[in-house]
A = this chain, B = another copy of it.
């Protein structure tokens, strides 16, 4: 993992000496001014000049040097065994950890909570420690703007792609996942009356910003579904828009609305497992049985699939493999701008059967 194009030391990294020079003061004075120390009784005017110089040069202190000198790093570590959990995030971390372990590299995880200001502080800190590389990851598959600080070191996007498609990225193959879901229904004998549950609320389309984010899964899954249905001479009977969160309540409400409108689907393809669980609830409430009356298939392959009766058939996200591959690409310094798509496999439950009409 050598330094990236923009990651060379010295190439651009501003030091305190340079700030002092520009401000026309001693290094000591610059240090005192920047750290807001008053021992030296530096005039406010001088302090201001130093701060402006630092600002102008884009100075950011080297945390490694500071730590070496002071014996304090300003950081705390949380050490845990969390990865054991079956969580989306943890599976990605687990995959990356395995690969990096073989490469004798440790993995620090930081969580920005999706907050740009916190992210920026973390990135500054990490860069100032001469981190060898970044895995820039997203909770759910979407398009991101890669921060300049990340671009300054080798990096691989994990579960997201860059705006200009100008970076190495690893994402699930959502199109193929859509194909897989549709094919599962087709091979069970379904042809018509297949509904998709989880479209954007009206006014939104898959291609635009949504919730401040730009998810990829929805549009690509839909394309895969439609392509496969079209090849079999059919198409979706319709799409049920639901609210933002793609949670259980959204799924229940959406399907209740669908059933209330007099439609009797043969099968439901739900945008994720939680929505499918909500669909179960609405179906049960309407006295419909899964899969006897209606088949249900979803995406994600989360623990929810085992919580319902009958168990839910779902096209599983390959989180661990995403982490593994992204780490491998980082270690291997593969410097393409390719988007690597990892296959999603069908996790078979008992929620898909032959359509009621054929029995």
Contacts and interface: CB of A to CB of B under 8 A. Distances in A.
Nearest to A127: B77
Contact of A85 (B104, B134, B139, B284): B139
A52 interface: no
A107 interface: yes
A118 interface: yes
A65 B281 CA distance: 59
Contacts of A96: 78
Contacts of A3: 71
A158 interface: yes
A82 B94 CA distance: 13
B112 A75 contact: no
A210 interface: no
B1 A131 contact: no
Given A65-B68, A87-B90, A309-B281, A97 B76 contact: no
A100 interface: yes
Given A73-B130, A85-B88, A307 B248 contact: yes
A262 interface: no
B139 A82 contact: yes
**Count of identical protomers in the assembly:** 2
Contacts of A284: 309
Interface string A121-142: 1110110011111111111000
Interface in A43-89: 62, 64-65, 67-68, 71-85, 87-89
A253 interface: no
Contact of A81 (B65, B81, B94, B114): B114
Contact of A108 (B75, B133, B150): B75
A101 interface: yes
A93 interface: yes
Most buried by B among A76, A106, A123, A327: A76
Interface in A207-265: 248
Contacts of A327: 76
A121 B106 contact: yes
A9 B134 contact: no
A61 to B, nearest CB: 12
Contact of A135 (B78, B88, B281): B78
18 contacts: A9-B71, A67-B129, A67-B130, A75-B105, A75-B129, A76-B107, A76-B134, A76-B135, A78-B107, A78-B137, A78-B158, A79-B136, A80-B111, A81-B139, A82-B139, A90-B111, A97-B118, A284-B309
Interface of A: 1, 3, 9, 62, 64-65, 67-68, 71-85, 87-90, 92-94, 96-97, 100-101, 104-114, 118-119, 121-123, 125-126, 129-139, 150, 158, 248, 274, 277, 281, 284, 303-304, 306-309, 327, 330
Given A67-B130, A83-B111, 9 more contacts: A62-B68, A64-B67, A64-B73, A73-B132, A78-B135, A79-B136, A81-B113, A82-B88, A307-B308
